[in-house]
Amino acid sequence: MMLTQKCSNRNKPSLQNIANIFNMKVYALDVEGVIPEDLWTLTFLTNLNLALNYLTGNLSASIGNLTRMQYLNVNLNSLSGELPKELGNLTDLRLFGIGSNNFSGSLPSELGNLVKLERIYFDSSGLSGELPSTFAKLQNLQIVWASDNELTGRIPDFIGNWYKLTTLRLSDVSNGSSSLAFLKDMKSLIVLVLRNNNVSDSIPTNIGDYQNLTQLFLGNNMLSGTLPAQKSASLLNINLVANNFTIDSSNSSALPSGLNCLQRSFPCYRGSGIYYNFGIKCGTLHKIISAWLSLSSWTNLI
């Protein structure tokens, strides 16, 4: 199915003849081909959902004409090219989804103009480079999916000012040594995924104060120190593998001395397992690629 076709019959409607349309949903309909330029003339659009199709080509700079847009979703297509800076004109946008595409280049700094944005999804989008400093202005963000790209640099401290954030999935950030200091006051977090980011820090001692947190994934970093003595009752899903924790046999640590399987140097083949509800998928002899802990408490690991 094509998104649109030219019609020989003048009585048949075209996109230009229905310019006052407000909502358009072309979701999971196996649509293929490029997005027609006429679409960007629908300046009354507030909701455009083109997700889960086979769309190709790039996002036209003319997308900047849709200044009334509030919800824009092109996730799960095969779109490519660089993101147009004209996206920064969509200042009423609340949701922006471009994940699972083949884009290139970096995030335009103009996206920092979208101060009403609440949800952004650009995981597996092909983007690279650093998070723009202009993103510091996006303080209404609640959900951020930004994993599986080629992002570089440090995890920016301004994320700590996204006080409304409930979900942060930011992984695979390279060429920088990051800290967890930005988490200090982010007590609204429910899901925190920061895997494979070269984070060289310790887990915040006040992690037990994060009463809403249900999922914590800090695997494949350079974390050190011991685990805090307490966590909230809601935190049941934890992944801390492939780090550099201090194994402390005293009662002051929440990490039992036997659980050195969290360390980067732990070999995958240890014979029969002694850990409850613990799975390992091995990649090489001395590096744990993935492991998942579903725990009821720090201290009930063995």
The pLDDT tens digits of the residues spanning 231-244 come to 888 998 988 888 88
Q: What was the pLDDT predicted at 231?
A: 82
Tell whether 297 is covered by a domain. Answer: no
Give the model's confidence band at 14: pLDDT under 50 very low, under 70 low, under 90 confident, else very high: low
Residue pair 199/175 in contact by the 8 Å Cβ criterion: no
Question: What's the mean per-residue pLDDT of the chain?
Answer: 83
Inform me whether the pLDDT recorded for 285 exceeds 50. no
Tell whether 172 is covered by a domain. Answer: yes
Tell whether 60 is covered by a domain. Answer: yes
Tell whether 185 is covered by a domain. Answer: yes
Give the model's confidence band at 295: pLDDT under 50 very low, under 70 low, under 90 confident, else very high: very low
Q: What was the pLDDT predicted at 226?
A: 83
Tell whether 144 is covered by a domain. Answer: yes
Residue length of the chain: 302
- Looking at the 3D structure of the chain, how many domains does it have? 1
Most confident residue range from 149-158, 202-211, 259-268, 272-281: 149-158
Percent of the residues in the chain that have a pLDDT greater than 70, as a whole number: 75
Return the closest-CA partner of residue 97 out of 115, 116, 124.
Answer: 124
Cα(90)–Cα(181) distance, integer angstroms:
32
Tell whether 267 is covered by a domain. Answer: no
Cα(272)–Cα(250) distance, integer angstroms:
26
Write the CATH number for 207.
Answer: 3.80.10.10
Mean pLDDT of 4-18: 50
Q: Which of 12-16, 130-134, 253-257 has the lowest mean pLDDT?
A: 253-257
Tell whether 239 is covered by a domain. Answer: yes
Return the closest-CA partner of residue 78 out of 49, 99, 47.
Answer: 99
Q: What was the pLDDT predicted at 20?
A: 85
Q: Which of 81-85, 88-92, 180-184 has the lowest mean pLDDT?
A: 180-184
What is the token pair recorded at 88?
Answer: 């920064």
Mean pLDDT of 265-279: 46
Tell whether 226 is covered by a domain. Answer: yes
Q: What was the pLDDT predicted at 251?
A: 45
Range of 105's domain? 15-257
